[in-house]
Amino acid sequence: GRANIGVVGLAVMGSNLARNLASREGNTVAVYNRTYARTEELVTEHPEAGFLASETIDDFVATLTKPRTAIIMVQAGKGTDAVIEQLAERFEPGDIIVDGGNANFNDTIRRERELRERGLNFVGTGISGGEEGALNGPSIMPGGSAEAWETLGPILKSIAAVAEGEPCVTHVGTDGAGHFVKMVHNGIEYADMQLIAEAYDLLRRVGGLSVEQLVDVFKDWNTGDLESYLIEITAEVLAQKDAETGSPLVDVILDEAGSKGTGVWTVQNALGLGIPVSGIGEAVFARAVSSKPAQRGAMRASVTNRPKPPEVPDTFVDDVRAALYASKVVAYAQGFDLIVAGAKEYGWDIDLGALAKIWRAGCIIRARFLNRIVDAYATEPDLETLLVDPYFADAVASGEEAWRRVVGIAAASGVPAPGFSSALAYFDSLAADRLPAALIQGQRDFFGAHTYKRVDKDGTFHTLWSDDRSEIATTPSTH
């Protein structure tokens, strides 16, 4: 064997990752794809990469030096299982199979266990940054064993994006930890995009700004605390004119948002773990609502009397900026809560500060903001919620009045702002002295004898609702 690393699956992601690997000092990259034509095309187009191309999986495996290390970049699901099996049949104990696709972390946990039982290392890794990132430096989130990380770490560090001199890769945790945090990363991405979209919609439809003015607003926001890849590309998308009609491209794009499912996974797992990721949830639901043309058409025909946009304050643009920032803090706080809960459930030791560090470059949610999260966990690793970190608490408090004004104006004008409003509701729920959960406990006790606790003494209680309505102490209900 002569290659220290191999890539299986040479569609856009695999090709770009292979080229990235080949461009780094010391790497010789073996490449293999089920359909050989794709391999030939890559090798022909990129002679500078010095790829070792194999037509068969046997040759590919024979080309790798030990411990053999192969990164799989194929269609997630059945394709991944098929390739894993082909490699596993040929690999020997100590060799490393890496899955860089968008796998479900439950699959990664299963695959890691099965391969470990066969003496093989399996590393499921999140790779964010799209095709561009794969080629020039992605943010990389590997799971798997510490042993595999020893071999793989230096290779991944060499191809990762760099933020403030540090490569955007860290050993996130064992087995499925990498794919779990990649899932949450994508969920946060959904929330961030939804919040930006709400800001745009409010400024345009209530604030009366033109698309041209909005380009300048987003460019301006990108010089402050909101500086991020998503804000930057928002300005670029808004600035784009449609060649055919001459109108802003955004006005000719059908307003039905698609998705590939990682947002849904995030919310499903959050529901199971009991973590309120309402920002991500609203973002997933907002895309779903947008993609219901029949219902939207029926409602538009039925609701004829829409509210008139109210007068907005002169400070509206800055108010919306403050609402966006505060809502974004909430969305990230919730996402990090989900990672804490996942780590506890699945037994991962995840360093939240290290995670925030590797999201500072290479990935879709890269942002100046992430530095603040790094600082927050450096100061207090066991933060109850990001919202109580002094910097974030201040940032939210200073924008709080504006945030409330914007949510009020959105409600009064009939422009939906589910992200902004649910984020504010979450903030107010955590901040409340008392929640109406007390009433819910009363209702549950009434119809289901589910019992309740009291504020003034220990124990579990039940009111005899259908009898004389006296209260009895009970043993805790299991319902």
Residues at the contact surface with ligand NDP, assessed by CB under 6 A = 9-14, 33-35, 38, 73-76, 78-79, 82-83, 101-102, 127-130
Structure-block tokens of residue 349: 């030791």
Alpha helix (H) residue ranges in 347-417: 352-358, 369-379, 390-413
Place of tokens 């403030």: 164
- What's the CA gap between 343 and 232, in Å, rounded? 32
Helices (H) then strands (E): counts for the chain: 20, 11
β-sheet bridge partners, residue 128: 139
- Tell me how far, at minimum, the Cβ of 7 lies from ligand NDP, in Å: 10
Residue 198 one-letter amino acid: E
CB 363 within 8 A of CB 139: yes
Is 357 an active-site residue?
Answer: no
Task: Name which of 13 and 424 has its Cβ closer to ligand NDP.
Answer: 13
Q: Which of 164, 166, 189, 453 does the annotation list as catalytic? A: 189
Q: Tokens for 418?
A: 């589910």
Q: HSE on the CB side for 20, CA within 13 Å?
A: 25
In Å, what is the CA distance from 314 to each residue of 283, 318, 377? 29, 9, 37
Residue type at position 197: A
Which residues carry a binding-site annotation for NADP(+)?
9-14, 33-35, 74-76, 102
Which H/E stretch holds residue 36?
helix 36-45
* Contacting residues for 410 by C-beta, under 8 A, at least 6 apart: 198, 202, 206, 416, 417, 420, 421
Residue with tokens 């505060």: 326
**Residue number with CB closer to ligand NDP (35 or 315):** 35
Q: Is 55 a catalytic residue?
A: no
CA angle 133, 86, 135 (to 5 degrees): 10
Task: State the catalytic residue, choosing from 182, 198, 328, 357.
Answer: 182
> Based on CB atoms, which residue is closest to ligand NDP, 14 or 167?
14
Q: Which residues are catalytic?
A: 182, 189
